């Protein structure tokens, strides 16, 4: 009997881990950690940094679980998400909710008890913004869902900054703006080559409501806006030549792919842009970190 229970327990643990979206959470935590390291001139307090990292990661995982729970019927109709345990019915609603609340509650306790109150409150606001405002209200009702709801996804580096300093300043807001501006072209690239699935699910994503051409133009315009926003750290004197040279190269490729997509649309190119956008954000924040520790003033 025990031999049978063990594989079943492992299967359920893997299913729960999967709906916590570990790859997405890893990117969230990465951006938060960069925010922590940029917030101080030297090495951050390692105990506080660890508590903040784990706390933010747990709350992000809880938000992902709630998202999967709310969207289980929609996920079941889409090839990209039909494998999720909540969509397949492998995990019940009550079980998912309990695990999400315990996970998020533990994360909040860590932030409130070992980091600071402002980080805890901002992280709670981020959770509500994604799990409730975006998932329940925006995503099913407006094609601007990702533009408005993107504010929640842009919070990680700001949360990391506040975890170390207890306050928000211009550079922390700039880090937020970079991800906020990056989010629409990143997500619209995905929505373009998945537009038929979103249409079947009844979700008003921009390619579904406004068409391919309008969406690719929007991607180009947001990419140009992103180029300007990513120069703000240099304008604020918080980044030097290392970051400037690297970010211009990253922006050049992003814009080139966006223009190609608008000139002659292809699903394969939209997928390529989507994948590049993930590499772009990772490399951009890595550049900020390298520049922070090896500053060559402009």
Q: What is the pLDDT of residue 11?
A: 67
Region 280-296 average pLDDT: 89
Do residues 105 and 177 both lie within one domain? no
Domain membership of residue 141 as a residue range: 1-168
pLDDT exceeds cutoff 60 at 198:
yes
28 lies in the same domain as 100: yes
Q: Provide the pLDDT for residue 13.
A: 78
Does one domain contain both 84 and 221?
Answer: no
**125-182 pLDDT, tens digit each:** 999 999 889 988 899 999 999 999 899 999 999 999 999 999 999 999 999 999 999 9
3-state secondary structure the chain: CHHHHHHHHHHHHHHHHHHCCHHHHHHHHHHHHHHHHHCCCCCCCHHHHHHHHHHHHHHHHHHHHHHHHHCHHHHHCCCCCCCCHHHHCCCCHHHHHHHHHHHHHHHHHHHHHHCCHHHHHHHHHHHHHHHHHHHHHHCCCCCCHHHHHHHHHCCHHHHHHHHHHCCCCHHHHHHHHHHHHHHHHHHHHHHHHCHHHHHHHCCCCHHHHHHHHHHHHHHHHHHHHHHHHCCHHHHCCCCCHHHHHHHHHHHHHHHHHHHHHHHCCCHHHHHHHHHHHHHHHHHHHHHHHHHHHCCCCC
The last residue of a domain, from among 116, 151, 168? 168
Choosing from 139, 168, 197, the residue where a domain stops is 168
Give yes or no: residues 163 and 208 share one domain. Answer: no
Q: pLDDT tens digits for 214-255?
A: 999 999 999 999 999 999 999 999 999 999 999 999 999 999
Say yes or no: 108 and 199 in one domain. Answer: no
Number of domains composing the chain: 2
33/124 same-domain check:
yes
**Boundary of a domain, candidates 121, 138, 168:** 168
Q: State the pTM of this model.
A: 0.90
Residues 205, 161 share a domain: no
């Amino acid at each position: 009997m025990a031999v049978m229970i063990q594989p079943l327990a492992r299967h359920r643990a893997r299913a729960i881990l999967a709906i916590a979206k570990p790859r997405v959470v890893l990117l969230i935590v990465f951006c938060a950690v960069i925010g922590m390291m940029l917030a101080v001139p030297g090495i951050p307090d390692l105990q506080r940094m660890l508590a903040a990292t784990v706390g933010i990661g747990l709350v992000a995982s809880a938000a992902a679980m709630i998202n999967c729970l709310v969207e289980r019927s929609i996920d079941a109709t889409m090839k990209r998400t039909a494998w999720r345990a909540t969509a397949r019915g492998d995990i019940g609603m009550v079980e998912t909710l309990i695990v999400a609340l315990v996970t998020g509650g533990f994360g909040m306790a860590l932030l409130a008890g070992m980091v600071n109150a402002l980080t805890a409150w901002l992280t709670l606001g981020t959770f509500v913004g994604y799990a409730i405002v975006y998932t329940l209200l925006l995503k099913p009702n407006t094609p601007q869902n990702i533009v408005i709801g993107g504010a929640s996804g842009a919070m990680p580096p700001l949360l990391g900054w506040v975890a170390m300093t207890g306050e928000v300043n211009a550079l922390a807001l700039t880090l937020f703006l970079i991800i906020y501006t990056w989010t629409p072209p990143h997500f619209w690239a995905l929505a373009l080559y998945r537009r038929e699935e979103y249409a079947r699910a009844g979700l008003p994503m921009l390619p579904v409501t406004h068409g391919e051409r309008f969406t690719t133009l929007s991607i180009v315009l947001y990419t140009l806006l992103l180029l300007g926003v990513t120069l703000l750290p240099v304008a604020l004197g918080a980044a030097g030549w290392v970051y400037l040279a690297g970010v211009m190269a990253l922006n050049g490729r992003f814009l080139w792919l966006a223009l190609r997509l608008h000139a002659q649309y292809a699903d394969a190119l939209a997928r390529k842009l989507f994948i590049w956008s993930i590499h772009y954000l990772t490399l951009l924040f890595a550049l900020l970190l390298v520049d922070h520790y090896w500053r060559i003033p402009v």
